[in-house]
Structure 1
Amino acid sequence: MKNILTLILILSSFIIAQKNSIEKKVDALLSKMTIEEKIGQMTQVDLDAIKQNPDHVTKYSLGSLLCGGNTEIDDISPKGWAKAYEYYQGLALKTRLKIPILFGIDAVHGHNNVEGATIFPHNIGLGASRNEKLVEKVARITALEVKGTGMQWAFAPCVAVARNERWGRTYESFGENPELSKLLGSAAVKGLQTNNLASSTSVLASVKHYAGDGGTTNGKDQGNTECDMKTMREIYLAPYIDAIKAGAKNIMVSYSSWNGLKMHGNKYLLTDVLKKEFGFKGFLVSDWAAIDQLGKDYKEDIEKSINAGLDMIMIPNGPNQDNNYIQFIHYLKELVEEGKVPIERINDAVKRILTVKFEMNLFNNYKVDKKLTSKIGSKEHRKVARDAVRQSLVLLKNDNKVLPLSKDLKRIHVTGKAADSIGYQCGGWTISWQGNSGNVISGGTTVLQAIKNTVSKNTQITSSLDGSGAEGSDVCVVVVGEKPYAEMFGDREDLSLSKDDIATIEKAKSSGVPVVVILFSGRPMIITDQISKVDAFIAAWLPGTEGQGIADVLFGGFKPVGKLPHSWPKSMQQIPINVGDKNYDPLFPYGFGLTY
């Protein structure tokens, strides 16, 4: 016991000494900075906006660059991204004070802008797994692949608590219960950052979107969350407290409003609650051009957002567009000179940003590790993703124990538009912002290919797109789902399956053979009629590239363990439906999931 106490004292002394050392370094650097250099650190510019004038990274002492959803370079291979990172980081190191840039990217289910990367299930699927160790491992692999391209900042995890499935970002949430977001959001932070931000394999997590973005009226993206402070705290703020305890050093602010006030201008929630009450010591970053929504005057938008507590502003516009990064820098300097933004607020913001950069050991640890580059999309990484797929699947129905299937059946018919499509499996935020229904990324395994990989050599696999051709087979596996989408374009008033998917299921059922349906979706869909007609039904969410994990469950190599992270409605009239509602009568309750 005495030895343990001594060790604790030594570690505590080391941590305090390290903290004091970083504070001294930050203060020393801050004392050397001009107002222009300080504002530069508060400016984050999209790569598309800067690529015509790359020297502006040096000229304006920019603190950060990002690659937004559709921002890509010509060569999106791991080596191509690494080369681009090195080029822009090199420009930052030519500045007078040689402060490295933080390079951020939307790595929300793997390093999803990179060709050949490992793509994991979206958060809704990880929520079904209920497994924080698995989520931490997924985030760890994501961090390794992000660092393999040199970048050091992943805009993840999203800890929104999605309370209305109409919302097009439901799949970015772990589920309808704040306990899930608390548990799994914290695990993701730990996986990305490890216990040591200075590690060469750690990346900065960005916990998002603060706050209430999952509770907007009618599930409207960038809408208005209407609730009292008690509800805000219990449902929407709770995950941030746990994320901060897990070591979160960056939080991204939400587009949404709370009772009519835009979050980007809400000083009470950003400064009084988050920074003061919750003790958040990291820095706040805006969402993509989000401060522009505060009003019609860009200069006033800057004043409101910085005074509310924003530390870094994400700016997608270049010099030839309105509300661009040069205007931001110019206006913010004017606001300081006019006394409308206190210099103390500027110093606080820059101090927070620099502190994180020193905690990340960014001044010494900014080079690309080519060993990590070579492991992007590796077999060992895909093995983790395959396990994540297996654990995310929720078995909703299994009449007559149709599942698991035998590997020695004579013929299996596989049908449906999503059966041989990596794009449908991955959903949005995969290479392109909104995703694509084609085979958007190399290296993955579709359901059709996974089934072929699994069955015996004597089993015949036939296939079609529309449900036809199943007659005479031992079983028909139908794979249907939502076309890929992401924010702004994913909101839906009707969550019924598409007419094509319904027709495919009907045609397969008319063949007279047992029918197993696999659904790819970013949320519960209205399936009441369809599920009553088929023998087995699996909610597969958006599993990513490793379809082999689905075959593992289909053929009994892995028993289903997934539990619903959302209550499953019978009809659109029931939405929103959440566990604890007064008249709670879902098709399947929150936490439901069969096994073999």
Structure 2
Amino acid sequence: MTEIITGLQGEIPANSRKGVPYVAGKKNVAACAKHYVGDGGTNKGINENNTIIDRNGLFRIHMPPYYNSIIKGVSTVMVSYSSWNGQKMHANHDLVTDYLKNKLRFRGFVISDWEGIDRITSPPGSNYSYSINAGVHAGIDMVMVPLNYTDFIDDLTLQVKSKVIPMSRIDDAVRRILRVKFMMGLFENPLADLSLADQLGSQEHRELAREAVRKSLVLLKNGKSADKPLLPLPKKAPKILVAGTNADNLGYQCGGWTIEWQGLSGNDLTIGTTILNAIKSTVDPATQVVFNENPDADFVKSNGFSYAIVVTGEHPYAETYGDSLNLTIPDPGPSTIKNVCGAIKCVVVVISGRPVVIEPYISTIDALVAAWLPGTEGKGVTDVLFGDYGFSGKLARTWFKSVDQLPMNVGDPHYDPLFPFGFGLTTKPGMVRSTSAGVVSRGANVFSLISVSIISLLPFSLFI
């Protein structure tokens, strides 16, 4: 995943010194490796929680992405809200200064998270002067203070003047920040190059996003038996049903951190193509597409549909708002699956930021697709549903049967997943796609189960 650093900053020169930040030019941006360190291993997966693990485990599982980021010339590292064995990372001098800066020789700058130093105390901000002291002493060079910046500046200045915080600590922070700014050329070109603005949302970028969608989809089930697959779906059918809360909701497709922090519901958030509209533009013009968000079973049985596509899943969330101890699909998702798939051949497309509870419905579903958060390009989903491209994606995370199994990772004695890490069925494009009286004809469809041998799995928490 650290390859994205090169994509953002540019290819680091062969003779570059390890740990020194590198940005190639005006068309590149500084990358940030976050959230340092152990953010992906918090107790019960709760945001800003405590990562309980010994030093060897922390360095073996959670630290490798940071080694690689530094080698790639990453410019900044952001500290995590979380704690390690009870100590807040924003106050951890051992890991921020002694290890990251001194041992790994990282020469970029360390930045706090949004109001990160406030959270050193409980409740947040209850001893702001202490929090400033602890965060700056830990080795944070740039402090993200979105609101009470005057209080921060006044208190920091007072602590420096009274020598509670040594000037050498300030010099270190300034030196690191200036190093990155000089490397980026911000003094020669302080403003963004507006000639690049017309590339935002360009058709070229949308096509790339569409490709990313179709390659990331994971086919988890295809037919009640291997010799009777449902996918790819025929484009030419008399009448098909599209159901589910996520079928015609661009905000749900995109998830959180889309324009708004928590994202939004509906189609006014940004420009894109919903999965429903993608289906309508993909099927034969003579095919009637009926959309009913949450139909009852009688409606499904009485309308003579050839097949149904149910698009359901999670609502948008970001950070703590996404914490869940049950990981269930919100209502009316389960009833929609039951009503539709209990009455007609159906494919269920799950829109989610993570594996969710699906085991109770598996036997009812004919085909199941994990679409994650496909974003604005709904046609990336229909590209594979209707066979213009084959399914090729594999699970990057174990899909559990029940939350009672969690935490569960490859190699655990109790490893008994619904779908194992690396699982993904494949299909080939170019099949015969037609129906006669609602019966799917499947020419030379290829259906195969990829068996993956897992040697080791090192989960990591690097988001750039």
Normalising by structure 1, report the TM-score: 0.67
Q: 2:232 is matched with which residue: 381, 389, 404?
A: 404
Moved more, 349-358 or 211-220: 211-220
Does residue 140 of structure 2 align to residue 316 of structure 1? Answer: no
| Equivalent residue letter for 1:303 | N
> What residue in structure 2 maps to residue 188 of structure 1?
4
* Aligned pairs (5 A) from 1:131-170: none
Check the 8 A contact 2:398/2:417 in 1, yes or no.
yes
CA shift digits 1:69-104 (9 cap, x unpaired): xxxxxxxxxxxxxxxxxxxxxxxxxxxxxxxxxxxx
| Equivalent residue letter for 1:441 | L
> What residue in structure 2 maps to residue 168 of structure 1?
none
> What residue in structure 2 maps to residue 301 of structure 1?
131
Cα distance in 1, alignment partners of residues 90 and 316 from structure 2? 29
Cα distance in 2, alignment partners of residues 240 and 483 from structure 1? 31
Check the 8 A contact 1:198/1:361 in 2, yes or no.
no
Cα distance in 1, alignment partners of residues 268 and 54 from structure 2? 43
Query: What is the CA distance between 1:207 and its match in structure 2?
Result: 1.0
Query: What is the CA distance between 1:368 and its match in structure 2?
Result: 3.2
SS in 2 for 1:516: strand
> What residue in structure 2 maps to residue 154 of structure 1?
none
> What residue in structure 1 maps to residue 114 of structure 2?
288
Check the 8 A contact 1:516/1:535 in 2, yes or no.
yes
CA shift digits 1:118-143 (9 cap, x unpaired): xxxxxxxxxxxxxxxxxxxxxxxxxx
Query: What is the CA distance between 1:203 and its match in structure 2?
Result: 1.0
Query: What is the CA distance between 1:335 and its match in structure 2?
Result: 1.2
> What residue in structure 1 maps to residue 216 of structure 2?
392
* Aligned pairs (5 A) from 1:33-48: none
Cα distance in 2, alignment partners of residues 371 and 481 from structure 1? 39
> What residue in structure 2 maps to residue 342 of structure 1?
166
Check the 8 A contact 2:341/2:366 in 1, yes or no.
no
- Give 4+ residue runs of structure 1 displaced > 6 Å after superposition: none
Query: What is the CA distance between 1:591 and its match in structure 2?
Result: 0.5
Cα distance in 2, alignment partners of residues 331 and 499 from structure 1? 49
Check the 8 A contact 1:420/1:448 in 2, yes or no.
yes
SS in 1 for 2:117: helix
| Equivalent residue letter for 1:187 | E
> What residue in structure 2 maps to residue 557 of structure 1?
388
- Percent of pairs identical after alignment? 48
Q: 2:411 is matched with which residue: 580, 585, 590?
A: 580
Query: What is the CA distance between 1:208 and its match in structure 2?
Result: 0.7
Cα distance in 2, alignment partners of residues 302 and 433 from structure 1? 26
Q: 2:50 is matched with which residue: 207, 224, 229?
A: 224
> What residue in structure 2 maps to residue 439 of structure 1?
267
Check the 8 A contact 2:408/2:414 in 1, yes or no.
no
Check the 8 A contact 2:393/2:424 in 1, yes or no.
yes
> What residue in structure 2 maps to residue 566 of structure 1?
397
Cα distance in 1, alignment partners of residues 119 and 308 from structure 2? 50
* Aligned pairs (5 A) from 1:340-489: 340-399=164-223, 400-468=228-296, 469-471=299-301, 472-489=304-321
Cα distance in 2, alignment partners of residues 557 and 515 from structure 1? 19
Query: What is the CA distance between 1:412 and its match in structure 2?
Result: 1.8
Does residue 365 of structure 2 align to residue 534 of structure 1? Answer: yes
Distance 1:587 1:510, change over 3 A: closer
Moved more, 212-221 or 189-198: 189-198
> What residue in structure 2 maps to residue 591 of structure 1?
422
Query: What is the CA distance between 1:300 and its match in structure 2?
Result: 1.5
| Equivalent residue letter for 1:362 | L
How many pairs does the alignment contain?
405
Cα distance in 2, alignment partners of residues 212 and 559 from structure 1? 36
Structure 1 unmatched runs, 5+: 1-183, 318-323
Cα distance in 2, alignment partners of residues 491 and 433 from structure 1? 15
Query: What is the CA distance between 1:371 and its match in structure 2?
Result: 2.6
Query: What is the CA distance between 1:299 and its match in structure 2?
Result: 1.4
> What residue in structure 1 maps to residue 17 of structure 2?
none
> What residue in structure 2 maps to residue 97 of structure 1?
none
Query: What is the CA distance between 1:333 and its match in structure 2?
Result: 1.5
CA shift digits 1:234-268 (9 cap, x unpaired): 11111111111111110110000000000000000
Check the 8 A contact 2:10/2:24 in 1, yes or no.
no
SS in 1 for 2:78: strand
| Equivalent residue letter for 1:595 | T
Does residue 64 of structure 2 align to residue 246 of structure 1? Answer: no
| Equivalent residue letter for 2:39 | D
SS in 2 for 1:314: coil
Q: 1:507 is matched with which residue: 339, 363, 369?
A: 339
Moved more, 455-464 or 417-426: 455-464
Check the 8 A contact 1:428/1:484 in 2, yes or no.
yes
Check the 8 A contact 2:211/2:380 in 1, yes or no.
yes
Check the 8 A contact 2:76/2:110 in 1, yes or no.
yes
Distance 1:503 1:527, change over 3 A: same
Q: 1:200 is matched with which residue: 18, 26, 29?
A: 26
Check the 8 A contact 1:445/1:547 in 2, yes or no.
yes
CA shift digits 1:27-53 (9 cap, x unpaired): xxxxxxxxxxxxxxxxxxxxxxxxxxx
Select the structure that is richer in helix: 1
Cα distance in 1, alignment partners of residues 70 and 374 from structure 2? 28
Check the 8 A contact 1:431/1:440 in 2, yes or no.
no
Query: What is the CA distance between 1:510 and its match in structure 2?
Result: 3.3
Cα distance in 2, alignment partners of residues 294 and 571 from structure 1? 34
CA shift digits 1:202-258 (9 cap, x unpaired): 111111100111111121211100000111011111111111111111011000000
Cα distance in 1, alignment partners of residues 230 and 32 from structure 2? 43
Query: What is the CA distance between 1:369 and its match in structure 2?
Result: 2.5
Check the 8 A contact 1:467/1:478 in 2, yes or no.
no
| Equivalent residue letter for 1:475 | Y
Cα distance in 2, alignment partners of residues 276 and 510 from structure 1? 61
> What residue in structure 2 maps to residue 95 of structure 1?
none
Cα distance in 2, alignment partners of residues 224 and 350 from structure 1? 31
SS in 1 for 2:321: coil
Cα distance in 1, alignment partners of residues 413 and 252 from structure 2? 36
> What residue in structure 2 maps to residue 117 of structure 1?
none
Query: What is the CA distance between 1:441 and its match in structure 2?
Result: 2.8
CA shift digits 1:529-567 (9 cap, x unpaired): 112211000000111100100000101111111111111
Check the 8 A contact 1:429/1:486 in 2, yes or no.
yes
Query: What is the CA distance between 1:279 and its match in structure 2?
Result: 1.5
Query: What is the CA distance between 1:198 and its match in structure 2?
Result: 4.2
Does residue 333 of structure 2 align to residue 516 of structure 1? Answer: no
| Equivalent residue letter for 1:393 | L
Cα distance in 2, alignment partners of residues 493 and 412 from structure 1? 36
Structure 2 unmatched runs, 5+: 12-21, 428-464
